[in-house]
Structure 1
Amino acid sequence: MPQGVTLDSPRLEDGAALWRIARDSRVLDLNSCYSYLLWCRDYAETSIVARSGDAGAHGEPGAPVGFITGYTRPAAPSTLLVWQVAVDETHRGRGLAAAMLDALTLRARSERGVDVIETTITPDNAASRRLFTSFATRHGAAVSREVLFDAAAFPEDGHAPEVLYRIGPIAPSHPHRPSPSQ
C-alpha cells in the first residue's frame, strides 16, 4: 500500500472526482458524471476508493486518487464484476491498483461470499492484463479468458473486443504469500 493513501468505500460526493480520474486516464470508456454519482450511491459496497492522506481541516476524508467500481452479478451473486480500475496519474506506478483490488476482494469475500472475480479487458490493454493475472497469481486462482463482446457488438467503429477474464475460485484466506521455505 502506498504511503499516505487510505482505502475507503466511495461516497456520493466522490462521484465527480471518479469521473475526472476516469476522464484523465485517456484509456477508460468515460461514462457520464451522473453514472459515477449513481455508482457511488448504489454500488459503494462493491467498489473502493483510494484517498490521499490529506484530510480537510474538519476531518473530512482526503481526495480520491484512485478507484475500482464493481458489482455482484445478479445471476451469480458470488461473482464480483470489476467494471473500472483507475489511478490518478500522480499516484501511478506505486502498486495502488493492486492494493485496491486485493482490499476490495477481501471485503467482498468477507461481506458477500464472493469467490470469483470477472472483468473485461481489451486486447491492447497490457496494464490491465498484468494487474489481473498478477492478482490471480497472488491469490492462487485460475484464470480463464473468452471474448464476451466482439467488436461487432459495439455501435461505433473501432471498438476492440472485450475479453472476459474469470478468476477463481479465490481462496478464503489472504493473498498467497510464499512460505519461508519457498
Structure 2
Amino acid sequence: MTEPIDAPTGPTLLVVDDDAPLRTRLATAMERRGYQVTTAESVAAGIAAARSIRPLYAVCDLKLGDGNGLEVVQAVRAARPDARVVVLTGYGNIATAVAAVKAGAVDYLAKPTDADAIESALKAQGDKLPQPPEQPMSADRVRWEHIQRVFEQCDRNVSETARRLRMHRRTLQRILNKHAPRD
C-alpha cells in the first residue's frame, strides 16, 4: 500500500497556547526542524486535536483562557500513552510542576523559552538532566519578567500588583516605566 503524497513526513507535534504570536513562532520553528505541527488555542481545541491526531509530542501552556492546560496533557497521554508532553508556564512554582509531571508531562519549562530548549526537553531520554542554557537570563531580567507577569495577571492594575508583590506603588511604577533589562 502506498502513502498519499501529502502524508506527514515528520513526527507529529501539538502546540497549545492562547498567546497567538508565541504559538505561531513556535509552530514555525518546529516545522523547520521537521515536525508536523498542529496548533490549538484553548483547552477544548487542544483536547479535540489530541484525540484526532494522537501526537507523538505536545507542548502545552499551563494557563489557558478556558481552563487548565493539564487537561490537555491528560488527553494527549490518553490518546497516545507514549507521547512526550512539555508544559510551558509563566506562573512557575513547585506545586504546578509536580501537578504537571503527575498529569503526564515529561518536563516543565518557564516562559520565556526557545524552540531549542523545548525540543531538547521533548527528546530527552531517561533520567539525564537537560544541559543548562548557554546564556541564561540575568537575575534582573528574571525579576522584570516576574513583575510583568503579575502586572498582567492583575489586569495592569498598578495598585493591586504592588500589593501582591509587597512593594511600594511608586517603586513599581518606576520599574514598569523602564525598559526590560538586557539578558
Structure with the bigger percentage of strand: 1
Between 1 and 2, higher relative CO (CA 8 Å, sep ≥ 6) is seen in: 1
Q: TM-score, normalised by structure 1?
A: 0.32
Structure with the bigger percentage of helix: 2
Q: TM-score, normalised by structure 2?
A: 0.32
